[in-house]
Amino acid sequence: MGKVHTVSVPAAQEAPLVRPASYRIRALKRHLVDSLRDLREAKHPERLIQKRTAQPEGFAADVVRAGCTQCQGHCCRGGGEHAYLDDRTMARVRRDNPELDAAGVISLYVDSVADQGFEGSCVFHGAQGCTLAKLLRAELCNTYYCNGLWDFLKLRPLPGVVEIVANRGGVERRAVVKAVAMEEGAGWS
């Protein structure tokens, strides 16, 4: 086995899995109504649509997935009932779903809320990770990498073996990810 490269990520504190309280669903709906209104009132709504940011592929994607799995979503703790959604996300979702009216768009989101989510975290933060499809997420959610993952993604060439160490506040989880073949650097799609 080649040299093992360590990637350090935070570890979310243990929290119980709970059904989402109805006040949280109401808050999510209010936030979506506000975001859709902002979009309606925009002078140039088409300009709000952000370009899709490339995502890591292959081994790099495996490492990112393993990192977030061991971390268990520390960065999602701030998602609350807004999940970083705004008029820019709504502009993209409305473009992608022209057959849906505002109520239909809101239903897409409410139906995606985690049945059992981590207490105190984003309403879409379930036991297996984010329950919101990537096409419905805020661009920030699709493009955010904590420092440990960013530093790994910038490596050239990528290491063949990575040990993920998720550590924070006395919680530690580890996982090893091996590349099937050596790759020059992170592929992006």
Query: Which parts of this chain interact with ligand SF4 (CB under 6 A)?
Result: 9-10, 67-68, 71, 73-76, 79, 83-84, 122, 124-125, 130, 132, 137, 141, 144-146, 149
Q: Which uninterrupted H or E stretch holds 54?
A: none
Measured from the CB atom, the residue of 75 and 177 that comes closer to ligand SF4 is 75
> Shortest gap between Cβ of 130 and ligand SF4 (angstroms)?
3
**Pick 36 or 141: Cβ nearer ligand SF4:** 141
**CB of 108: closest distance to ligand SF4 in angstroms?**
13
Q: Which is nearer to ligand SF4, 39 or 64 (CB)?
A: 64
State the helix-helix crossing angle for 87-96 and 102-110, rounded to 10 degrees: 100
For residue 89, the surrounding DSSP H or E stretch is helix 87-96
The nearest distance, CB 129 to ligand SF4, in angstroms, is: 7
The beta-strand segments (E) located in 10-124 are: 17-18, 56-57, 117-118
Nearer to ligand SF4, 109 or 159 (CB): 109
Query: Which residues partner with 56 through β-bridges?
Result: 188
DSSP state of 154: T
Shortest Å distance, C-beta 152 to ligand SF4: 10
What's the alpha-carbon Rg for the chain, to the nearest Å?
18
Residue with Cβ nearer ligand SF4 (126 or 160): 126
At closest approach, how far in Å is the CB of 163 from ligand SF4?
A: 14
Q: Which residues of 42-71 are buried (b: 16+ CB within 10 A; e: fewer)?
A: eeebeebbeeeeeebebbbbbbbebbbbbb
